[in-house]
Amino acid sequence: MQNPQPIQPHTTPSAATLRWKQHETVLASVFFIAWILHAVLLMISLKAQGVQELFMDVYRSHGIHFKYYKNVLFPQIAIGLLAYLAYLLIAWLIIPLFTAIDWKGSTAAILRKVFSGIAVLLLISWLLALGVNLITWYAHPWWFNYGHFQALALFGYNDHPMDNLSFGWWNAVKLVANYTAFFLLIRLLIRYLDRPGPKRAYRVLIVNQCTMFALIYFSVMVLVGILTGWTNSLRFIGNWFVPAIFALFMVNTYRVFPRNQSGSFWEKKMLVHLLLYSVVCTFPLFMIAGFGVSSMANVGFFVCLGVQWMITIPVSWYLFNQRKDRILQLRGVEKALVQTKADLQLLRSQINPHFLFNALNTLYGTALRENASDAAAGIQKLGDMMRFMLHDNHLDAIPLEREVEYLQNYIDLQKLRIQTQPDIQITHDIQTERCPLSIAPMLLIPFVENAFKHGISLRNPSWIRIALACEEGVIRFTVSNSVHPHQPGDPEQQHSGIGLQNVRERLALVYPGKHSLQITDDGQEFAIALTIQA
């Protein structure tokens, strides 16, 4: 564990991926299609008299020949297309430019990428302003106070669009910059939700369901509104009832019900939470609608609350029980994967072949020199260690004295290997008599193993100090060793044990918030100090 490398975030294999960007793009495409559909349906619904009243008379009064396709349909479709293309360029070009910046890199590289992103942003703004000027030249929206060309109002009144091509460019810059900032915030939120960790798959599941609901909800709202129109009652239900019901469904499914220990619907604590969350998910939406002011909002709140209690809660409970196994598995599956991976790496690397060869060679040499008593003792210790790895290592926790036995056997075997080297000093002070504490198996040995690997030199004076104490529910463990550079061809150079990252991962999993690990390396001494609240 000498010269530890920077710790990289640990990821576990998971097929779960956030679909936010795909859902967002599909939703933007739905809005664009709806925009075109609205323009076409408006053209079909207008009779000749309607066209004359709305557009033709105004154009003729200003001495301009009028054609619906050129002066109305093209500008309406073009402004929708322009907005859609601007979204695609922002989401798929500008945002990746900014999110790809390595803020820990060189200043020159950061500035280069920042200026590249800004340059692309300004270019998109310029093209957007040019497109708006062209559309404005055909539509003359100021004659209608932007009545059928509301999107153009964002860029101001430009009654000579082809004479002043830069008109609206600054407004386009502000618009594109605001949308870029908004999408950057969304991407940062997504990156936070997609961060590696034990609950990543669980978060991804919830976010994907929320974004899929948003995609379906807004798509239905837009298309139904265009095709059939919305009555006040239908619009009220769509705007306030549906989001409130979905919010409570998600809270119940992924927060309230999974915490129910008894499995009974009538658990008192869960019922209190259900009533509380039904109000929390319903009230904010109706506050926006005018609760306390609007009679429709007042009545709607209590009607929606009744629907929550009589329909949403029972249905969500039924669906939760149908999918309970998968939902509960997702809450802990990645923690199990991390633990399994850590255990596998531990088994693969803890007693590596080089140590086994050294130990066996030492036992063989000792047997030749003496009456085989030391060899027999060494073989017995090695057998005890292998027995520990085969049996106790699979348990979640073992008595501390069993871990100490393994440590002692390991230390004794290493001493046997280096007993002919007078310049090597191994001291250990282990005070765990009558200690009632338990510990995760093979949690301490990596530090000792690495001390022997990196702290022992057959050419230079070397030392290792090990101390273990148990007091008032706390395990204190320290290991320090001399530091020596690896010699060329040293087989141990490519075998560094399970590594600092794996040890920290196991500690974080088994003792979250109940341990501290301090590591120091001054070039002459490498030391670790571990404290565990067992």
The model's pLDDT over 339-358, given as tens digits with 9 standing for 90+, comes to 655 555 555 455 455 565 56
Please count the other Cβ atoms lying within 10 Å of the Cβ belonging to residue 257. 23
Instruction: Identify the three-state secondary structure at position 2.
Output: coil
- Helix and strand numbers (H, E) in the chain are 20, 7
User: Among all chains, which residue has been given the structure tokens 């599941």?
Assistant: 205
> What's the per-residue H, E or C state across 369-397?
HCCCHHHHHHHHHHHHHHHHHHCHHHCCC
Judge whether 182 lies within some domain. Answer: yes
**Cα 443 to Cα 400: distance, rounded to the nearest angstrom:** 11
pLDDT of residue 500: 67
pLDDT of residue 233: 67
Q: Answer with the one of 194, 222, 254 that is the final residue of a domain.
A: 194
Judge whether 180 lies within some domain. Answer: yes
pLDDT of residue 360: 57
User: Among all chains, which residue has been given the structure tokens 């265009």?
Assistant: 226
Judge whether 103 lies within some domain. Answer: yes
**Cα 265 to Cα 309: distance, rounded to the nearest angstrom:** 13
Each residue's pLDDT expressed in tens, for the chain with a length of 534 residues: 444 333 333 333 344 578 888 899 999 999 999 899 888 888 888 866 678 778 888 888 888 888 899 999 999 999 999 999 999 999 888 888 888 888 877 888 889 888 988 999 999 999 998 899 889 889 988 888 887 787 887 777 777 787 777 778 888 898 899 999 998 998 888 888 888 766 777 788 888 888 888 888 888 888 777 766 666 667 777 778 888 999 999 999 888 988 887 888 888 889 999 999 999 999 888 887 777 777 778 888 888 899 999 999 999 998 888 877 666 666 555 556 556 555 555 554 554 555 655 665 666 566 656 666 666 666 667 666 766 766 666 677 888 888 888 888 888 888 877 877 888 899 988 887 778 888 988 888 889 988 888 888 878 889 999 999 988 889 999 999 998 876 655 544 444 444 667 788 888 888 888 899 999 988 889 999 999 987
Judge whether 207 lies within some domain. Answer: no
The structure tokens listed for 26 are 């599909």
Query: Which amino acid appears at position 107 of this protein?
Result: T
Q: Answer with the one of 163, 194, 225 that is the final residue of a domain.
A: 194
The structure tokens listed for 194 are 């997609």
Q: Are 430 and 408 in contact (CB under 8 A)?
A: yes
pLDDT of residue 466: 94
Q: Answer with the one of 194, 212, 238 that is the final residue of a domain.
A: 194
Contacts of 188 (CB under 8 A, 6+ apart): none
Contacts of 244 (CB under 8 A, 6+ apart): 281, 282, 285, 286, 304, 308
pLDDT of residue 365: 63
Phi first, then psi, for residue 528 (nearest 5°) are -125, 145
Judge whether 367 lies within some domain. Answer: yes
Q: How many domains are contained in the chain? A: 2
Contacts of 438 (CB under 8 A, 6+ apart): 397, 398, 399, 400, 534
E strand or H helix at 80: helix 74-89
Judge whether 11 lies within some domain. Answer: no
DSSP state of 7: P
**Cα 68 to Cα 74: distance, rounded to the nearest angstrom:** 8
pLDDT of residue 345: 57
Judge whether 262 lies within some domain. Answer: no
**CATH number, domain with residue 526:** 3.30.565.10
In 237-267, where does DSSP find H-type helix? 242-251
C-alpha closest to that of 346 among 474, 224, 447, 201? 447
Judge whether 116 lies within some domain. Answer: yes
C-alpha closest to that of 98 among 21, 192, 183, 172? 183
Instruction: Identify the three-state secondary structure at position 372.
Output: coil
- Give me the domain span that covers residue 115: 46-194
User: Among all chains, which residue has been given the structure tokens 């991976």?
Assistant: 341
Query: Which amino acid appears at position 226 of this protein?
Result: I
Q: Are 152 and 136 in contact (CB under 8 A)?
A: yes
